[in-house]
A and B are shown apart, each in its own frame.
Chain A
Amino acid sequence: DPNMKAGATSEGVLANFFNSLLSKKTGSP
């Protein structure tokens, strides 16, 4: 199922995105 595959990849990117936002927030004064 190509949708399943796309979903799995997107989840990793989503995690990366939110992790970056989290560190951006905590990283700034």
Chain B
Amino acid sequence: PELTVLGKAQEFFQICDLEDKGFVTRQDMQRLHPELPLSLEELEKVFVTLDADGNGSLTPKEFITGFSQFLLEQIAL
């Protein structure tokens, strides 16, 4: 199951990191706006929440951590 979670997190990371830079910026996140039912403000909130060190870019590790937390919450519910 851990591999599946990692695989999913990486898939989602790649959706955000279209240019395959290895990190996701605020702009990358805002680009998802037409595709996802979230407002620009909400996408900004998602970015800030995932950006644990607050350096303005999301690493795969930060993304995976956020996704794991989300899954744990879902399981708890």
A interface vs B, CB < 8 Å? 7, 9-11, 13-18, 20-21, 24-25
**Interface size for chain B: under 10, 10 to 19, 20 to 34, or 35 or more residues?**
20 to 34
Contact yes or no, A13 B42, CB < 8 A: yes
Say whether B38 contacts A13, CB under 8 Å.
Answer: yes
- Chain B, range 17-32, C-beta contacts under 8 Å to A: none
Q: Give B12's nearest chain A residue, CB to CB.
A: A21
Mark each residue of chain B from 35 to 57: 1 if its CB lies under 8 Å from any CB of chain A, else 0. Answer: 11110001101101110000000
Main secondary structure of the interface of A (DSSP, over half): helix
- Least CB separation from B43: chain A residue: A17
Q: Enumerate chain A residues within 8 angstroms of B37, measured Cβ to Cβ.
A: 16, 20
Q: What chain B residues lie within 8 Å of A10 (beta carbons)?
A: 45-46, 48-49
Contacts of A15 in B (CB 8 A): 70, 73-74
Nearest Cβ on chain B to A23's Cβ, whole angstroms: 9
